[in-house]
Structure 1
C-alpha cells in the first residue's frame, strides 16, 4: 500500500507517478526531540508519528536538502516548514522555526526570554475540530472520525426529540386549552375561572400515569371538569384524544 504524506491537506503518495515529478518522501527522525518538532510543525491535534510515517519533500525548503549524492537526503536537524494551513491554524512564519516556539507549542516549559517578542504577542490558536476538514491518514483515524460524527448526530436527534416533546407538553396544559373550550362554548365563564386554578397541570401526564397514581391536582381537575362541563370532558377525551379517566372510573 502506498505511503501517504502525513501533512494535512497533502494528497501526495509514494507512487511511481509522484516520484516522476521529483517528489521524495522522508521518514520522521528517530531522535525524540527532533521528531517532536516535526510532529508539532504539522499542527495536527493529538498526532504522533510512527517509525513508518513520512513527509513529502514539498514541505521542506530547497536548502534543507543534500543532493550531492545519488540519493536525496535531508540535512541534519532540519524541520519541515512549508504547509498550507487553514486560517485558524496559521501563525507568524518567524515563530515556527525557533526552537523555543516549537517547544512551547509542544507544551514544554521554556523560558519566555528565548522567544521573539512578536511570537509572544501572538499565541497560536488551538485547532477547532468542527473546521478540520482533512481526512485522517489512517483507516483507524477515519473510523474514529466517523463514529464521532455519528455520535454527534445521535445527540442532536435526541435534543430535537426532547425539544419537540417539551413543546408538545407546553401545548397540553389546562391553560392552553381554556381558550379552545371557550371558543367552542363548551365551558362557561364560571367553570373557566374554576379551571384556572389548574392552569399549570399537564394533561399529557394522564397518559403517563395510565390510570394509576394520579396526583391530587389531576383528580380534582378531572372531577371539576366532568361535573361542571361534561361536554368539554367528552370533547377532550374523544376529539382531542386526551387520555382522561373514563366517567365510570370517576364514579368509582
Structure 2
C-alpha cells in the first residue's frame, strides 16, 4: 500500500507519478526532540508519528533538502515549514510592540561625519541617517564587488553540481526501476515485494 504524507490536507502518496515530479518522502527523525518539533509543526491534535509516518518534500524549503547524492536526504536538523493550514489553524499576526525600547530599536540611527572646510582646521559636522546597521555592508565598494563576483561564481558552480547530481539520480532510478520490473516479469519477486522495493527505493 502506497505511503501517504502525514501533513494536513496533503494528498501526496509515494507513487511513480509523484516520484517523476521529484517529490520524495521522508520518515520522522529518530531524535526525540526533533521528532517532537516535526509533530508540533503539523498542528494535528494528539498526533504521534509512527515508525511508518512520513512527510513529503513539499513541506520543506529547498535548502533543507540534500539532492547531491544518489538518494535524496534531508539535511541535519531540517524542520518542515511549508503547510496549507485552514483558517482556524493559521497563526494570528503578531501585533507590533509599542514600548519605548522597541521604538528606539526600530528607529534609524544617525552617523556623524566630520569634514574639514578650511586651512584653519575648522571642522563642519554633517548628520546622515543610516537605515542599516553599521556592519551590514562593507564600506569598500571594490571589496563588495569582489565578494559579489565570488558569490555568483560559487552559485554557478553549485548549480552545475546540482544538475549533475540530479542527472545521476535520474539514471540510477531508471536502472533500479528496470531491474525491479525485470525481476517481476521473471516471477522472481511477488507483487507485494515489488511494490515495497519500489516504494523504499525513493525514500
Shorter-chain TM-score above 0.5: no
Higher relative contact order (CA 8 A, sep 6+): 2
> Greater helix percent: which structure?
1
Instruction: Please report the TM-score for the alignment, with normalisation by the length of structure 1.
Output: 0.36
> Greater strand percent: which structure?
2
